[in-house]
Amino acid sequence: DIQMTQSPSTLSASVGDRVTISCRASESISSWVAWFQQKPGKAPKLLIYKASSLETGVPSRFSGSGSGAEFTLTISSLQPDDFATYYCQQYNSFPWTFGQGTKVEIK
Amino acid sequence: QLQLQESGPGLVKPSETLSLTCTVSGGSFSSSSYYWGWIRQPPGKGLEWIGNIYNRGSTYYNPSLKSRVTISVDTSKNQFSLNLSSLTAADTAVYYCARQYGSMTPFDYWGQGTLVPVSS
């Protein structure tokens, strides 16, 4: 199985901050990475697919980058609605696997 | 707007089989570009992929669950289902159904999830 390792596990930030979350795959997965946002009691929401493609309707302050085994999700200016947990997921090969999550908290 | 809704028992006992159904509305369920899957999340923990079902019924399952999982589709009812057998307390989780649109894509539409406690 391909392991997805996110860092940090928790991130404290303020409104307006630039936030970066990293995700490392245990082997090369080309660009087959997605990023999800999840709020308490809610289903995950797709933000980014194919490493850097923005899902329709997602604000442009979200961006993704990377290829191979190293990937990054960036929020350019953190908004109050962005405090949530973020997951990366590889869909290069089965079994699909998720990172352990990064919780973005209010500083 | 595509909508997915999970349904099933509120509580199941250890050693029993869990049966969940996902009902899809607001879209063309039988489209050849739509694929379906299940994901679960134990309380307070991360996401675990369970399996996917594709055209002509081909399935892919998480090896950690493969011996206990079956995913099927009922096109006539716009539904797909999950069966998970030999339950233990470790299977307690929120179970989500989701859609995949096209190959080499992630899940883009998710159901709201249903909590399934496994307890005697």
Q: pLDDT tens for residues B26-81?
A: 988 888 889 999 999 999 999 999 999 987 789 999 999 989 999 999 989 999 99
Q: Using 50, 70 and 90 to split pLDDT, how confident is the model at A4? A: very high
The answer to whether the CB of A89 falls within 8 A of the CB of A97 is yes
For A69, other C-beta atoms within 10 Å of its C-beta total: 18
pLDDT of B27 reads 84
pLDDT of B29 reads 84
Chain A CA closest to residue B37: A96
Q: Which chain A positions have a beta carbon within 8 Å of B96's beta carbon?
A: 43-44
Which pairing describes strands A102-106 and A10-13: parallel, antiparallel, or unpaired?
parallel
Chosen from B4, B40, B48, B49 to mutate, greatest number of chain A CBs within 10 A = B49
Measuring CA to CA, how many Å separate B108 from each of A78, B68, B86, B99, B113? 23, 26, 30, 6, 14
Which pairing describes strands A19-25 and A70-75: parallel, antiparallel, or unpaired?
antiparallel
Chain A CA closest to residue B45: A100
Share of chain A above pLDDT 90, in %: 98
Q: Which chain A positions have a beta carbon within 8 Å of B62's beta carbon?
A: 95
- Residue-wise pLDDT for A34-54, tens only, equals 999 999 999 999 999 999 999
Rounded-to-10 torsion of CA B41, B46, B50, B54: 110
- Residue from the list B48, B61, B110 with its beta carbon closest to the beta carbon of A44: B110
Q: Can you say whether the dihedral through the CA atoms of B111, B97, B19, B45 is positive or negative?
A: negative
pLDDT of A56 reads 97
Residues A28 and A51: their CA atoms lie apart, in Å, by 13
- Residue from the list A42, A87, A94 with its beta carbon closest to the beta carbon of B46: A87
Over residues B5-20, mean pLDDT = 95
